[in-house]
Amino acid sequence: MTTNPIFRGVATAIITPTTPNGVDYEAFGRLIDWQIEEGVNAIVVCGTTGENPTLTDEEHKECIRFCVEHVNHRIPVIAGTGSNDTAHAIEMTKYACSVGADAILVVTPYYNKATQAGLVQMYYAIADASTVPMIVYNVPSRTGCGINPETYVELAKHPRIAAIKEANGDISKIAKTAQLLNGAMDIYSGNDDQIVPIMSLGGIGVISVLSNVAPRQTVEICDRWFNGDVEGARALQLELLPLINALFCEVNPIPVKAGMAAMGWCENYLRLPLTPMSEGAWAKLEACMKEQNLI
């Protein structure tokens, strides 16, 4: 663990409440307040769960600005600024820094992909343009472009490349990354079903979809671990596994948006190509949410 982590525990990859008329900032503000009241340690705005691919640049920037202003230094705000166009990622990064984001989250390039050498150059260029720490986001199932453990060693040499959101799903690769880095970068789980496994390898928390609907329970997993209650953390991780699986039974953020709507936090509205959950999938998620007394 680095000496000054961006956060420790749970960062909610927060949904963006939308309606046919645009972003619902009133709902967004209420949701941010509730997440903080429930004890989350940071908020990631305009990530995948926030539907950033279908936000206009103006909406993307306004969501970052609004979140930073509304949080008002209560917890760190991490802005999703990644793109497969490095110049665009630099533009969004500079904006996020200018309005007071505490860190940035930058995904690997999707569709055009890159070599490992290209990834290092891209991340260095974005980090050079940033005034805040960067979390590198590795999610090859979405982007088709993964980061090798050895590449993280090169990335760690940049003073503003501070951490990893690791969602490659391969515990062996994550173990190799932790071994090679030896604490040079913080590691966060990018998968809710691997919070405890990744913390057992030295990770310090999770960037979470689950914590949208169950913030207190997600925080409790990490708190139990940090307090030395390994068995308690493991038990809660496994107890929440059916709910976690239901939240990913269709493409994220389709299920979590449905769940948040059922809890009254937003409309169940998504922009194409995302569509509302099928009835069968919703029945599965609804049952899991009722089991956890969320609805």
Among 61, 123, 165, 284, the one annotated catalytic: 165
Q: What span, in angstroms and rounded, lies between the C-alpha atoms of 25 and 114? A: 36
Among 137, 188, 257, 284, the one annotated catalytic: 137
The HSE-up count of residue 282 (CA atoms within 13 Å, CB side) is: 14
Does the annotation mark 137 as catalytic?
Answer: yes
Nearest CA to 8 among 154, 129, 188?
A: 188
Q: What span, in angstroms and rounded, lies between the C-alpha atoms of 171 and 76? A: 28
Chain center to CA of 269: 20
Q: What span, in angstroms and rounded, lies between the C-alpha atoms of 256 and 72? A: 26
> Is 193 exposed, middle or buried (CB count within 10 Å of its CB: 0-12, 13-18, 19+)?
middle
Q: What span, in angstroms and rounded, lies between the C-alpha atoms of 290 and 295? A: 5
Catalytic residues: 137, 165
